[in-house]
Chains A and B, each alone.
Chain A
Amino acid sequence: MELNKEQAQKLIALRVADELVPGTFNNLGVGLPTMIAGLVPNEKDIWFQGENGVIGVGNSAFDIINQTNAQASDKAVDPDIIDSSGFTNTVTEGASFFDSSVSFSMIRGGHIHTAVLGTMEVAENGDIANYMVPGRALAGMGGAMDLCSGVQRVIVATLHSNNGKPKMLERCTLPLTAAGVVKIVVTELGVFDVKDGHFVVREYNPNYTFEQIQEVTGAKLVFPENCQPMAAHYFEEAVK
């Protein structure tokens, strides 16, 4: 089964959603990771922290941020969405708002269980490079370096390759966002634990051979005897 880009991203988001632990507070990076919130039902009791100052259950934190951003980009007279629209009970149930000092105290202080980040490169030593390409327009690290420095568990959620170039490497070539912090990498080709300086395959996409997966990866993969195929329901869901 060949997945198109959107289906591959959804597959990754669905698989990462199951790595999140009920009863915890988590942070999702921009792009693909943000999709995960929409795939986690509120009943799962998985909470998300937005570093611009909100905690909400399931997708609610992102509802608030998305509405805010939409209004801001529309150049509305009053972009303070929370003033103008109010919240439904589902959005504010258990939610809290806070300033950036408190927000990053949660992040650096180890109070966030898992951060899910996209990336340009990730290395078998746990290094991550996702904020800067020399020679291209300056972008900035935002909160990514703080997330990497303090969150208990960093998961990278990313397409396996960028225009045919592997993202999983022996060492990053781009300037690092953080050194030695990534614990798990999830792509459309598998779930990889970063262990003892190697990518250890926990689950693999059964539509490809080990050789095919290795071929598009920039570091030597370890396939332990107990590695499993990714469950069929992820693929069924991803192509819906």
Chain B
Amino acid sequence: MDKLKTLEEALAPVKDGMTIMIGGFGGNGSPHQLIEGLIKKGVKDLTVICNDPGTPNFGNGRLIHEKREKKLIASFISSNKECQEQHKNGELEVELIPQGTLSEACRAGGAGLGGVLTKTGLGTLVEEGKQKVVVNGQTYLLQEPLRADVALIYAKTADRMGNLIYHGSSRTHTPMMAMAADYVIVEAAEVVEVGELNPDYIHTQAIFVDAVVKKEV
């Protein structure tokens, strides 16, 4: 099995108006070359699910700077003034989900689960529009699963069939997003032959990955 593709081949199925998950935290661990590829390709009106909007013109902030997003689902946006301004001007819709809930919503979306029950957000504005569920006398909020058409993720190492190893603190929501999208593209700093990775240390398994793009140095 060989999923190694050029950037253009890998991004071919991405279209205007799609929902796209992007890995990374403040731009760290984001697939920067895939993001540049999207911009170059010209896709727009995207709904993006990402931990945050990166920083101005960096990470997910590149897509915001280029005004390619109509909606952002994130846990905070305070890291990017451009994003805050676009939200204030009504150019960008923003939905905030607590960070841990966001991760589990992606996991539920990828794991075939009907949602997540969490106490996070009880007694706050997060309750609005959410169903409450009582289990053994304890009240939880129901977070529905999140899914996307495409996930763009970054890994330090991939083999050609898409087994992935992350490095350091760059993992964040990426493994959950890899499970929750119909089409998953990984940008990998290093691509090795099938068989070279130790099966004990695979973080995301090839079954979740559709295309591998080698990061250009």
Contacts and interface: CB of A to CB of B under 8 A. Distances in A.
Interface in B41-96: 51-52, 54-55, 57-59, 74-78, 81, 84-85, 87-88, 94, 96
Interface string A18-56: 000000000000000000000000000000001111100
Interface string B11-29: 0000000000000011111
A104 B99 contact: yes
A145 B168 contact: no
Interface in B164-185: 166-176
Interface string B137-158: 0000000000000000010100
For the side of the interface on A, what is the size category?
Answer: 35 or more
Contacts of B37: none
Contacts of A141: 75-76, 96, 98-99, 126
A68 B77 CA distance: 18
Nearest to A129: B124
A100 B99 contact: yes
Contacts of A72: 26-28, 54-55, 58-59
A78 interface: yes
B169 to A, nearest CB: 4
B18 to A, nearest CB: 23
Contacts of B197: none
B120 A145 contact: yes
Given A104-B100, A140-B96, A145 B26 contact: no
A142 interface: yes
Interface stretch (A157-165, A174-182, A185-193, A209-217): A174-182
A81 B189 CA distance: 13
A147 to B, nearest CB: 9
Nearest to A100: B103
Interface in B105-152: 107, 118-126
A78 B190 CA distance: 13
Contacts, number: 175
B211 to A, nearest CB: 20
Interface string A136-149: 01111111111011
Interface in A86-123: 97-101, 103-104, 107-108
Given A80-B167, A97-B169, A69 B26 contact: yes
Nearest to B104: A101
Contacts of B27: 72, 79
Interface of A: 50-54, 64-65, 68-69, 71-73, 75, 78-83, 97-101, 103-104, 107-108, 132, 137-146, 148-150, 175-180
Given A80-B167, A145-B126, 17 more contacts: A68-B26, A79-B30, A82-B169, A97-B171, A99-B176, A100-B171, A100-B172, A101-B107, A101-B176, A108-B100, A141-B99, A145-B98, A146-B100, A146-B120, A150-B120, A176-B125, A178-B122
10 contacts: A80-B167, A83-B189, A99-B175, A100-B100, A101-B173, A108-B119, A138-B88, A144-B98, A150-B120, A179-B124
